[in-house]
Amino acid sequence: MKQMTEAQLSELEQDLNAIRNEVIADLGERDAQYIRRMVRLHRMLEAGGRVMMPFGFIPPVFVAATATLGIAKILENMEIGHNVMHGQYDWMNDPSLHSQTYEWDTVCTGDSWRRTHNYEHHTYTNIIGKDRDYGYAVLRLSDDEPWRPRHSLQFINYILLSVFFQWGVGLHELETEKLQRREISLREKLPFLKEFARKGGRQAFKDYVFFPLVTFPVAPIVLAGNVGANLIRNLWSSTVIFCGHFTQDAETFSEEECEGESKGHWYLRQLTGSSNFTGGRWLHILSGHLSYQVEHHVFPDLPAHRYPEISGKVQAVCQKHGIHYNTGSFARQYGTVLKRVLRHSLPEHLGGSSATTA
């Protein structure tokens, strides 16, 4: 991580706070209309996908129905659910769009996500040993974690995590690595497992039992389409998230260097531990604007559709303070993610040392 004096960190904090305060002062009807428009679009896409699915015995209709439902799930999870649960629209005082009551269309419960992601990840972003989102406890992505023989097969784990991403995220709070080390007991996790079983069971029943049954003559087609839609959502959301956190230039940090950190230091860690990728408007919308992961990590509770507007200002702050602003094309950033996963599947003397570990 770039070394800065306390005075420089204080100035960085003031610069970024000024951007945040400017957006907060401007929040209003435009933002409310945007999120409500996204909610209406999601409902239309889901209804369209569900209605088309029984006619999936016609191949083009099957493709269209599966893609439409998959996009609906992506939109709800990424642009609506994730952002709403960060409190980006709490100021609207709309119970259906409030961070503490919103429940999204995925197996992970809202409460579990708020604990593991909103608090744990956004507080301890990329701190090895504190941020369990970094590698999701199944991927070795830094030389700070000792290599073990099982890591040689981690690209398989990477593929499995991507394919079953909603289930991996849903079970993230189980803390399997701590269970294996006997630091916690399974009994301690029973309340969480009960919550997960209830939510996961409802989601599985909805997509894999209820909708196929109500379209019984074509149940296998509907079941296949629902599986495909969930797969589309899983692969896309996992790829977006990996591109925001695991690229070659995204730094990691030790607990020692972050102990007792100031707000300015926290800002610096968010800036240097995050990655953006470029693209068109709909790429940004379908990524939940996590294509602006730098801005999201710095301002997680600002409406995400504002990130493109403030990106230039954040870049100017980075340039002023000599901080690298990590961005690139989607293909380039994803390529560096794959390289990082492969490189750290090997022992350090074979894979090469990580240039991104602070």
- pLDDT, tens digit, for every residue of 110-122? 999 999 999 999 9
pLDDT at res. 229: 98
Question: What long-range pairs does 96-102 form, CB within 8 A, spacing at least 24?
Answer: 97/35, 97/39
Number of neighbours of residue 331 by Cβ within 10 angstroms: 10
pLDDT at res. 357: 47
Task: Report whether pLDDT(16) > 90.
Answer: yes
Residue 58, token pair as written in the block: 């016609």
In whole angstroms, how far apart are CA 198 and each of 109, 113, 203, 320?
9, 15, 9, 50
> pLDDT band for position 261 (50/70/90)?
very high
Number of neighbours of residue 105 by Cβ within 10 angstroms: 18
- What does the angle CA 281 – CA 283 – CA 285 come to, to the nearest 5 degrees? 70
Spatial CB neighbours of 338, under 8 Å, sequence gap ≥ 6 = none
In sequence order, which ranges of the chain are alpha helices (DSSP H)?
6-26, 29-52, 59-74, 83-85, 110-113, 122-123, 154-163, 165-170, 176-180, 190-205, 211-214, 219-245, 255-258, 263-272, 281-286, 293-298, 307-321, 330-343, 348-351
Per residue in 122-155, pLDDT (tens digit) is: 999 999 999 999 999 899 999 888 999 999 999 9
Mean pLDDT of 289-299: 98
Task: Report whether pLDDT(63) > 60.
Answer: yes
Task: Report whether pLDDT(273) > 50.
Answer: yes
What average pLDDT is seen over the chain? Answer: 95
Task: Report whether pLDDT(355) > 60.
Answer: no
Strand partners, 129: none
Q: In the chain, what are the domain boundaries?
A: 6-351
| Nearest CA-CA partner of 288 in 308, 270, 271, 268 | 308
- What does the angle CA 34 – CA 282 – CA 118 come to, to the nearest 5 degrees? 65
Contact call for residues 299 and 94 (beta carbons, < 8 A): no
In whole angstroms, how far apart are CA 159 and each of 138, 149, 219, 275, 349?
11, 18, 28, 21, 25
Find tokens 């992601």 and name the residue. 117
Task: Report whether pLDDT(354) > 70.
Answer: no
Mean pLDDT of 29-38: 98
Task: Report whether pLDDT(107) > 50.
Answer: yes
218 vs 211: CA distance, rounded Å: 10
In whole angstroms, how far apart are CA 100 and each of 63, 111, 118, 194?
36, 8, 11, 20
Spatial CB neighbours of 302, under 8 Å, sequence gap ≥ 6 = 20, 23, 24, 88, 295, 310
353 vs 142: CA distance, rounded Å: 9
Spatial CB neighbours of 238, under 8 Å, sequence gap ≥ 6 = 161, 162, 165
